[in-house]
């Protein structure tokens, strides 16, 4: 998998600045006062730093934004990166500043003069998150970026604070790699193998094959994949870090490794992006990796349904009726509404086997949620105010956009079928909500549940402060924070 950039913390040594290679980073607050390291830099640069800080160009910078001063006199560095950041910056601004550093990193590395900044660990987190690139399929010579050295007043203390962020970064990178991977590489076989390899981190991993899924009665899930050469699978990952008598939180992910739409085939334009239709499963995998790496004191089970939705002589047809593990029958009106069929069976299995304390599913489920919310927010649907509010609080704390959507009987009745217990779609209007209503039919009474529709946030065509364009890893940070705040043994 893609490895985060190497970041080391060491005590501030002003005499070492002149000989630093690569990039040197300095933070200047909106009051335009220079720190001891800033004054040292200014002397080395013969006043150039002070002149820039007093300019309109610096005044135009927003917190976390940066400007390069290239090839500074009196130094061996190739550039000095000046970042506008207050001494009491918010976590969001500190991470944004780190992202500016990570985006500009070169193989020559960087020296970050954080000194006594209170958010030094968050700055380092931002560096690591933004310094991601997905290059395994590029044939040009690959050059590793970094390393990064952060000079701080208390290096050991800051390094300890940064450790938890390092685990999250690796989990996010694992998710991004999965979502970015092309479907001819990330088959259901390969996906399952990558998850099985996490046993070395302490996770218990089981792979349920089609024979076992048939015995369990997962007709909804199996119907989706019956037109593919890649067999359908369910992978169960357990992290047992909490008390033995603690019921686990269940995370369920949609893992459609490629979605043509099946017989209800999608338009050709943009279909190549359907390699990301396993984004929900990717997030679940990334969260489980993070929990294992940081030895979370909680019990969490992650379950992913891995299928491929292809048009074939054996493929599911519009009008077919399938029987779910729950026993309910479903009239398949549109084979491109396949993710909810996968989730229905995996959600029911999770409740039957683990009797979890709560259940959260993630899926790149509907284009309708993109119409409603764009790409800034994930759609959040829930039957439990307490769990939903706790998640929204965690998402806000981590800067991951999330917005609660309505549910209700008026949407549910749109799923009524003439020949089966329900249809898998309810029309174009309110499409994201009727999808959530479909899933709620597979949530047992009194089970706290959240559905996260990440169709608009899993993969972006533009950069963000913490990620290059492509897979974002949205949800790993928020779910990790939720588990840390609400489920870990204190």
pLDDT category, 263, cuts 50, 70, 90? very high
* pLDDT tens string 270-309: 999 999 999 999 999 999 999 999 999 999 999 999 999 9
Give the pLDDT confidence score for residue 289 in this predicted structure.
Answer: 98
Q: From CA 262, how far away is CA 316, in angstroms rounded?
A: 7
Q: Is the pLDDT of residue 146 over 90?
A: no
Q: Tell me if residue 266 is catalytic.
A: yes
pLDDT category, 172, cuts 50, 70, 90? very high
Q: DSSP string spanning 354-380?
A: H--SEEEEEE---SHHHHHHTTT-EEE
Mean pLDDT rounded to a whole number for the chain? 97
Give the pLDDT confidence score for residue 140 in this predicted structure.
Answer: 85
Torsion of CA 474, 480, 482, 486, to 10 degrees: 170
What average pLDDT does this structure show over 452-460?
A: 98
What average pLDDT does this structure show over 375-381?
A: 98
| Cβ proximity of 129 and 99 under 8 Å | yes
Give the pLDDT confidence score for residue 490 in this predicted structure.
Answer: 73
What average pLDDT does this structure show over 357-361?
A: 98
User: E strand or H helix at 345, and its extent?
Assistant: helix 339-354
Taking alpha carbons only, the member of 376, 449, 486, 400 closest to residue 168 is 400
What average pLDDT does this structure show over 128-157?
A: 93
Q: Is the pLDDT of residue 260 over 90?
A: yes
Q: In Å, how far from its chain's centre is CA 118?
A: 26
Give the pLDDT confidence score for residue 79 in this predicted structure.
Answer: 98
Q: From CA 287, how far away is CA 291, in angstroms rounded?
A: 6
Q: From CA 87, how far away is CA 14, in angstroms rounded?
A: 19
Helix (H/G/I), strand (E/B), else coil: 304: strand
State phi, psi for 477 to the nearest 5 degrees. Answer: -65, -45
Please provide the size of the chain in residues. 490
pLDDT category, 86, cuts 50, 70, 90? very high
Side-chain-side CA neighbours of residue 58 (13 Å): 22
Give the pLDDT confidence score for residue 144 in this predicted structure.
Answer: 86
Q: From CA 91, how far away is CA 182, in angstroms rounded?
A: 34
Helices 385-397 and 476-486: crossing angle, nearest 10°?
120
Give the contacts of 306 (CB within 8 A, at least 6 positions apart).
Answer: 188, 191, 192, 232, 233, 234, 235, 255, 257, 278, 281
Kind of pairing, strands 7-11 and 66-70? Answer: unpaired
- DSSP-assigned letter for residue 427: -
Kind of pairing, strands 66-70 and 79-84? Answer: antiparallel
Q: From CA 448, how far away is CA 385, in angstroms rounded?
A: 9
| Cβ proximity of 293 and 482 under 8 Å | no
Q: From CA 171, how far away is CA 484, in angstroms rounded?
A: 15
pLDDT category, 143, cuts 50, 70, 90? confident
Q: What is the helix, strand, coil percentage profile of the chain, to 5?
A: 40, 20, 40
Q: From CA 1, how far away is CA 293, in angstroms rounded?
A: 15
pLDDT category, 478, cuts 50, 70, 90? very high
Taking alpha carbons only, the member of 149, 129, 114, 126 closest to residue 35 is 114
Give the contacts of 27 (CB within 8 A, at least 6 positions apart).
Answer: 35, 83, 84, 85, 97, 113, 114, 117
| Cβ proximity of 249 and 357 under 8 Å | yes
Taking alpha carbons only, the member of 251, 253, 250 closest to residue 357 is 250
* pLDDT tens string 196-239: 999 999 999 999 999 999 999 999 999 999 999 999 999 999 99
* pLDDT tens string 26-66: 999 999 999 999 999 999 999 999 999 999 999 999 999 99
Q: Which ranges constitute the DSSP H helices of 181-310?
A: 188-196, 210-216, 219-225, 279-293
Q: Tell me if residue 176 is catalytic.
A: no
Q: Which ranges constitute the DSSP H helices of 197-333?
A: 210-216, 219-225, 279-293
pLDDT category, 480, cuts 50, 70, 90? very high
Catalytic residue, from 340, 414, 441, 481: name it.
340
Q: From CA 136, how far away is CA 282, in angstroms rounded?
A: 18
Give the pLDDT confidence score for residue 484 in this predicted structure.
Answer: 98
pLDDT category, 179, cuts 50, 70, 90? very high
Direct distance between the N- and C-terminal alpha carbons of the chain, in angstroms, rounded to an integer: 32
Task: Give pTM, 2 decimals.
Answer: 0.97
Q: Is the pLDDT of residue 141 over 80?
A: no
State phi, psi for 189 to the nearest 5 degrees. Answer: -60, -50
- Output the CA angle 465-466-468, nearest 5 degrees: 90
Give the pLDDT confidence score for residue 239 in this predicted structure.
Answer: 98
Q: Is the pLDDT of residue 256 over 90?
A: yes
User: E strand or H helix at 456, and its extent?
Assistant: none
Radius of gyration of the chain (CA): 24
Catalytic residue, from 161, 240, 266, 404: name it.
266
């Amino acid at each position: 998998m893609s490895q985060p950039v190497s970041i080391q913390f060491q005590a501030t040594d002003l005499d070492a600045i002149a000989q630093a290679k690569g990039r040197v980073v300095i933070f200047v607050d909106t009051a335009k006062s220079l720190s001891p390291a800033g004054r040292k830099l200014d002397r080395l640069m013969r006043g150039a730093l002070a002149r820039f800080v007093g300019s309109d160009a610096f005044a135009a910078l927003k917190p976390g934004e940066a400007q390069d001063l290239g090839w500074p006199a009196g130094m061996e560095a190739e550039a000095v990166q000046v970042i506008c950041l207050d001494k009491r910056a918010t976590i969001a601004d500190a991470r944004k500043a780190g992202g500016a550093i990570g985006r500009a990193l070169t193989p020559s590395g960087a020296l970050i003069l954080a000194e006594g900044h209170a958010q030094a660990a968050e700055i380092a987190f931002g560096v690591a998150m933004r310094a991601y690139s997905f290059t395994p399929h590029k044939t040009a010579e690959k050059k590793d970026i970094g390393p990064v050295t952060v000079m701080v007043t208390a290096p050991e203390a800051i390094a300890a604070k940064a450790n938890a962020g390092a685990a999250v970064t690796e989990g996010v990178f694992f998710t991004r790699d999965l979502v970015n991977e092309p479907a001819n590489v990330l088959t259901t076989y390969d996906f399952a193998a990558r998850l099985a390899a996490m046993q070395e981190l302490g996770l218990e991993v089981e792979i349920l094959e089609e024979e076992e899924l048939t015995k369990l009665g997962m007709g909804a899930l199996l119907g989706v994949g019956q037109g593919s050469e890649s067999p359908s699978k369910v992978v169960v990952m357990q992290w047992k870090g909490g008390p033995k008598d603690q019921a686990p939180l269940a995370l369920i992910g949609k893992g459609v490794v490629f979605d043509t739409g099946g017989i209800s085939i999608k338009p050709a334009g943009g279909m190549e992006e359907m390699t990301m239709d396993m984004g929900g499963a990717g997030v679940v995998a990334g969260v489980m990796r993070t929990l294992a790496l940081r030895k979370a004191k909680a019990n969490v089970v992650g379950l992913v349904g891995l299928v491929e939705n292809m048009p074939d002589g054996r493929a599911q047809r519009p009008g077919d009726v399938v029987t779910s593990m729950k026993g309910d029958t479903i009239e398949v009106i549109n084979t491109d509404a396949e993710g909810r069929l996968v989730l229905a069976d995996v959600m029911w299995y999770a409740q039957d086997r683990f009797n979890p304390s709560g259940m959260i599913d993630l899926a790149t489920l509907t284009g309708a949620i993109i119409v409603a919310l764009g790409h800034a927010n994930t759609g959040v649907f829930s039957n439990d105010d307490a769990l939903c509010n706790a998640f929204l609080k965690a998402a806000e704390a981590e800067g991951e956009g999330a917005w609660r959507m309505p549910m209700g009987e008026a949407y549910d009745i749109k799923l009524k079928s003439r020949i089966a217990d329900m249809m898998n779609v309810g029309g174009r209007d309110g499409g994201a909500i009727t999808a959530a209503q479909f899933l709620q039919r597979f949530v047992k009474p009194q089970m706290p549940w959240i559905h996260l529709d990440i169709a608009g946030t899993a993969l972006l065509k533009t950069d963000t402060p913490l990620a290059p364009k492509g897979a974002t890893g949205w949800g790993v940070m928020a779910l990790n924070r939720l588990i840390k705040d609400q489920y870990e043994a204190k």
